[in-house]
């Protein structure tokens, strides 16, 4: 539900539909498949479906899929597993590595089917310009660009909703001769999967909803997400001994900074995760964008409070906050449409999501309705988005309450759900991270409560989407066990994920770090290593820079390594050496040397385990002829 921040990429494959918003290509007919996917192990094809099932002769779409066959041919096959990507706007097939990684242990007996929903990837990706290329600096043009996209689509503007995509999947299953499936959806994929479950309950053996939000009864202001964000920052601080020892409320500190930057925005030059420097200005809007990003990854939870405290000091240090802004606020457009379709995202939002205005009313009326809704919220719930004001929140680059103001009035609106629908009694697993503010635990509980045979699992210290790329393998293991047995089994491991290790404080110089010289040097070295490692999730390449200077190079994925050259987390100490992380076990090992006054220069051997709760780092080194071993909190 964000305007910007999408870096993913989409080419359209549509037949029988015309218009400047759609890129046309020849589709492969159902039954004619070719080798494709990871290692060319899949069979790819398309299935022709009606563009509009209520209008004969309206044309067809071709829905693209990848089907990975089971590997064990000596035993009978079991139900096909179907995975659906989130967004909306992302094609499932471009996330194949995540789904293969999750379900590989079951692919001896189960086929894996990945389907691109209509309007994405190989299923007629909607390519609207200038919407697809619009940058965050141009967000004042957002509503006009969305309206233009809707006009480009013409009568098809209301034909890309979730209900029609759900019926497409049923047609694909029919074409492939598949009767029942185990369906997994993440993020928007859970919205789709709930819709499919209600419209086609007989096609499901099991249902897994990872990071779910409700398909009906949602607050059009999405206030549960604002509450989840504030709760998440407080929980993360309470669980981290260093942050908790600071005292006070991290959300209150953020409110203090918000009031300050509302009067005097912070401007400076800072690097992104790949070391590209750019001038950035942080006012309330960008502060909200940083705050909003916490639910997507751990780095903001790790660094925001310490960056806020650094900015509020009498001798303010703005660099940590400016760097967060550079890393977390995506300044570009939607990218190549084969990887992400902004037009499809808005078509779904304007068709299916609750709005603050009547989509059957003309745009002029919608504007008046939206204005009344804002005034009513300011009167009845002025702290709806605390610590930010209502006006700050609704005008920030990320929030998109106004997105559909100019979208065309639906030509023939169809309900998302059939009349008198029921939630099916299908075994359902609902997962959510308790630090997720993209889809809240409150919303996920609401979803679980509507499915009669549901199991709800809240994963401690986890952000958005729990099972994909889960190197700890707890959430992923729960999903696999549920699909195998229709029971989640023992889920106690969901409480054992480690707390977010927040930065205790951003120090300008080594002398600001408390303790005697050996402890101070150990903390500086360990924090420098951790700061470099924290850049990894936001990097597009393999080279980056230290907070205050120096460079590093990284390699690998599950077994990662970093080489540091004069990296400075504090101004007066440069750190060089190597770091390795074994992601499946959490083992971290660094061997580094320090250059600077007042610190031991000889190599320090630093080890800790990132998967342990309240982990400690063991540092070994030498001062002159005396060896030492010291234990400090893992950074």
CB atoms within 10 A of CB 72: 12
Contact between residue 459 and residue 468 where contact means Cβ atoms under 8 Å apart: no
Q: What's the confidence (pLDDT) of residue 568?
A: 97
Q: What's the confidence (pLDDT) of residue 15?
A: 34
Q: What's the confidence (pLDDT) of residue 597?
A: 73
Contact between residue 489 and residue 478 where contact means Cβ atoms under 8 Å apart: yes
Q: What's the confidence (pLDDT) of residue 212?
A: 98
Contact between residue 554 and residue 542 where contact means Cβ atoms under 8 Å apart: yes
Task: Give CA separation, 255 vs 211, 228, 290, in Å.
Answer: 28, 16, 13
Q: What's the confidence (pLDDT) of residue 5?
A: 38
- pLDDT of residue 587 exceeding 90, the answer is yes
Taking the alpha carbons of 327, 333, 339, 344 in that order, is the dihedral positive or negative? positive
End-to-end CA distance of the chain: 32
Note the pTM of the prediction, 2 decimals: 0.93
Crossing angle of the two packed helices 298-312 and 250-263, in degrees rounded to 10: 60
Crossing angle of the two packed helices 162-175 and 188-199, in degrees rounded to 10: 70
Q: What's the confidence (pLDDT) of residue 31?
A: 57
Kind plus residue range of the DSSP H or E element containing 167: helix 162-175
pLDDT digits 0-9 by tens, 151-163: 999 999 999 999 9
pLDDT digits 0-9 by tens, 521-556: 999 999 999 999 999 999 999 999 999 999 999 999
Q: What's the confidence (pLDDT) of residue 30?
A: 53
Helix (H, G, I), strand (E, B) or coil at 430: strand
Mind listing the domains of the chain with CATH numbers?
A: 14-219+416-493 (3.40.50.1820), 512-633 (no CATH)
- pLDDT of residue 209 exceeding 60, the answer is yes
């Amino acid at each position: 539900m964000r305007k910007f921040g999408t870096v993913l990429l989409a080419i359209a494959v549509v037949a029988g539909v015309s218009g400047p918003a759609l890129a046309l290509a020849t589709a492969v007919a159902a039954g004619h498949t070719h080798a494709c996917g990871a290692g060319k192990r899949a069979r790819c094809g398309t299935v022709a479906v009606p563009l509009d099932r209520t209008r004969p002769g309206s044309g067809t779409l071709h829905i693209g899929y990848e089907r990975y066959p089971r590997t064990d041919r000596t035993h009978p096959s079991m139900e096909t597993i179907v995975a659906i990507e989130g967004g909306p706007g992302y094609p499932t097939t471009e996330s194949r590595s995540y789904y293969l990684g999750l379900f590989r242990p079951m692919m001896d007996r189960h086929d894996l089917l990945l389907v691109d929903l209509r309007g994405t990837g190989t299923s007629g990706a909607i390519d609207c310009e200038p919407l697809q290329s619009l940058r965050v600096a141009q967000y004042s043009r957002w509503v006009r660009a969305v309206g233009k996209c809707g006009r480009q689509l013409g009568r098809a503007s209301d034909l890309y909703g979730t209900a029609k995509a759900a019926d497409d999947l049923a047609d694909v299953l029919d074409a492939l001769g598949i009767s029942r499936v185990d369906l997994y959806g993440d993020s928007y994929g859970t919205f789709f999967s709930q819709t499919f479950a209600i419209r086609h309950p007989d096609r499901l053996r099991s249902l897994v909803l990872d990071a779910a939000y409700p398909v009906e009864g949602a607050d059009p202001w999405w206030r549960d997400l604002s509450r989840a964000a504030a709760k998440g920052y407080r929980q993360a601080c309470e669980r981290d001994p260093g942050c908790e020892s600071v005292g006070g409320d991290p959300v209150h500190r953020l409110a203090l900074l918000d009031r300050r930057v509302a009067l005097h925005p912070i401007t400076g030059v800072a690097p992104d995760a790949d070391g590209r420097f750019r001038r950035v200005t942080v006012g309330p809007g960008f502060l909200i964008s940083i705050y909003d990003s916490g639910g997507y990854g751990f780095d903001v939870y790790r660094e925001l409070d310490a960056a806020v405290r650094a900015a509020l000091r009498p001798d303010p240090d703005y660099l940590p906050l400016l760097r967060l802004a550079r890393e977390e606020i995506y300044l570009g457009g939607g990218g190549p449409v084969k990887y992400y379709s902004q037009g499809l995202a808005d078509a779904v939002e304007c068709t299916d999501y609750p709005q603050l205005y009547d989509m059957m009313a003309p745009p002029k009326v919608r504007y008046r309705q939206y204005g009344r809704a804002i005034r009513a919220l300011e009167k009845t719930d002025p702290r709806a988005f605390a610590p930010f004001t209502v006006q700050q929140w609704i005008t920030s680059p990320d929030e998109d309450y106004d997105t559909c103001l100019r979208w065309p009035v639906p030509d023939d609106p169809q309900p998302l759900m059939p009349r008198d629908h029921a939630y099916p009694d299908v075994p359902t697993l609902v997962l959510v991270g308790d630090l997720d503010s993209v889809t809240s635990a409150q919303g996920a509980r609401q979803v679980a409560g509507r499915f009669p045979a549901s199991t709800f699992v809240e994963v401690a210290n986890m952000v958005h989407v729990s099972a994909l790329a889960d190197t700890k393998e707890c959430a992923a293991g729960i999903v696999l066990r549920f699909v195998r047995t229709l029971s989640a089994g023992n889920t106690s491991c969901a409480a054992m994920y480690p707390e977010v290790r927040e930065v205790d404080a951003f120090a300008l110089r080594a002398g600001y770090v408390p303790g005697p010289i050996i402890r101070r040097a150990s903390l500086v070295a360990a924090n420098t290593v951790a700061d470099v490692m924290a850049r990894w999730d936001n990097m597009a390449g393999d080279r980056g820079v230290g907070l205050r200077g120096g460079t590093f190079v990284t390699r690998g994925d599950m077994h990662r390594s970093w080489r540091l050259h004069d990296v400075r987390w504090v101004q007066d100490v440069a750190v060089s050496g190597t770091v390795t992380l074994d992601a499946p076990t959490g083992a971290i090992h660094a061997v580094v040397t320090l250059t600077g006054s007042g610190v031991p220069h000889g190599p320090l051997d630093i080890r800790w385990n990132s998967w342990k709760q309240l982990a400690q780092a063991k540092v070994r080194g030498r001062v002159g002829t005396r060896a030492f071993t010291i234990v400090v909190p893992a950074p």
